[in-house]
Amino acid sequence: MYATRKDLEARFGEGELQELESMQTAGNSIEEALQDASEEIDSYIAVQYVLPLPSTPSTLKRIACNIARYRLHFQHPTEEIENRYKAEIDFLKRVADGKATLNILNPQNEVTDEKPLNTPSTMPIGSTYRGGVFGDDVLDMMPSIK
């Protein structure tokens, strides 16, 4: 998991966590929300990075806390909580699209040279795709939509 109960307490205070727990039916709702947040984060970053990450960037800890808080406010999240959640998801989408990166530290606390896993391959302009199931000859036989 990218964040713990202590991380949530440090960010939002023990009082808010107790209030959120009192609204839940399950006894381990905070741990479940943190696990769900971690899985949601993984679904985005796995597109660009090999999991598990060698270290957890503080950015992911913040994102996990905000997502878990949003999930714990399942009935009536405030506008601020909802806006934070949406901002975190937007950032994760940018990571998945390769438009943002994570600063992953190696054991010497230096940013790694690890680049996103899926770097796009490019073809020169004007080249023709010849492989796969749908080559130009197959596509030419398909009806066009006009």
For helices 58-72 and 14-23, angle between their N-to-C axes, nearest 10 degrees: 40
Query: Which pLDDT score is estimated for 140?
Result: 76
Both tokens of 5, joined, read 């109960």
pTM of the model: 0.71
Domain boundaries, the chain: 5-96
Amino acid of residue 47: V
Q: How far apart are CA 14 and CA 144, in angstroms?
A: 61
Query: Which pLDDT score is estimated for 132?
Result: 58
Q: Is 136 helix (H, G, I), strand (E, B) or coil?
A: helix
Q: How far apart are CA 88 and CA 41, in angstroms?
A: 9
How many other CB atoms are there within 10 angstroms of residue 103's CB atom? 10
Query: Which pLDDT score is estimated for 103?
Result: 83
Q: How far apart are CA 30 and CA 53, in angstroms?
A: 23
Which residues sit opposite 111 in a β-bridge? Answer: 105
Q: What is the mean pLDDT of each run of 10 residues along the chain (146 residues)?
A: 93 90 81 94 92 89 95 87 95 93 68 51 57 66 72
Query: Which pLDDT score is estimated for 116?
Result: 47
Residue 52, preceding peptide bond in cis (omega within 30° of 0): yes
